[in-house]
Amino acid sequence: MSGLPREVLKWIQSLDLTWQVKTPKWDITNGYLIAEIFSWYFPQDIQMHSYNNGRSLDSKQKNWDLLKNFIKRHKLEIPADVIDGTIHCKEGAAALLLERMYEILTNRVVRKLPPDFEPDFTDRGYQNKLPMHARSTATQSVKNNLRITEIQADSSLILNSQKAQKIINEHIDHRRLERNENPDRFNIKPSIGESSFRHPLPQRQEDGNQEANGPEPERTQSPMSRETSVHFKEVQVKQLDKNALYNMPIQGY
């Protein structure tokens, strides 16, 4: 029952279900126990003979189609991504579903510590606990986070390729973050700009410090911005007389 708060665990055990929930990720994926929990609070709306306790994808889809209609009819605020994550055995989705059901059916709030990161129904939390050399590659990350039931439930190649590409992009972002946090391990050398010495910028004084230290000295105008005082004298050019040029004797003749 790892991943469930204590009050949720005690609540589930008090319902006397068909079998004990040990691993929510696998035990409630087909929706049969979810229907059994709802039947305790809505006996007129949930008929257990309509649900199949099978493990096939077809049994899952039939059970969850009935449950989705029930949730929609009673306007229960359960996110669709949590339901889909539970169907496809995503990490953390089943625990969130049970916690949400506990809050709705008992009108209580689950007391738990805030998570280190937002739940994304991937194995990122498990991967962060592993040493860097044992963490998944991009290919293994797709295998871990894209379930075969997701591909079977929706055979669209475009949709499945988009899901795979999203997992790869997230994996690349996490690897880039690891390289930035541990540059020595990945033998990353600083660039010329990063390794060069830089003088700190002069800090601007606050108004209170300026009054205490006296008025700010007047800034002198840059020589380049001053108006030039150099005057140029106009040069008059005397034009040559063309008639004198024609009457000039030619030497050598």
Q: What is the pLDDT of residues 181-213, one digit of tens each?
A: 888 877 777 777 777 767 777 776 555 555 555
Percent of the chain with pLDDT over 90: 35
Who has greater pLDDT, 112 or 232? 112
Closest residue by Cα to residue 16 from 32, 34, 37: 37
- Structure token pair of residue 30: 């087909």
- Per-residue confidence (pLDDT) for residue 241, from 0 to 100: 64
Highest mean pLDDT among 70-74, 144-148, 150-154, 184-188 belongs to 70-74
Question: What amino acid is encoded at 196 in this protein?
Answer: S
**Residues contacting 5, CB < 8 A, separation 6+:** 99, 110, 111, 112
d(CA 169, CA 122): 13
Average pLDDT over residues 3-28: 90
Between the alpha carbon of residue 33 and those of residues 62, 76, 77, 96, 177, the distances in Å are 14, 17, 19, 15, 40
Flag whether pLDDT at 133 surpasses 70: yes
- Per-residue confidence (pLDDT) for residue 230, from 0 to 100: 60
Between the alpha carbon of residue 231 and those of residues 142, 227, 234, 250, the distances in Å are 77, 12, 10, 44
Between the alpha carbon of residue 77 and those of residues 36, 51, 73, 74, 95, the distances in Å are 19, 22, 11, 9, 16
d(CA 243, CA 232): 34
Give tens-digit pLDDT for 32-49: 999 999 999 999 999 999
- Structure token pair of residue 165: 């590409």
- Per-residue confidence (pLDDT) for residue 55, from 0 to 100: 85
Return the residue matching tokens 């049994």.
59
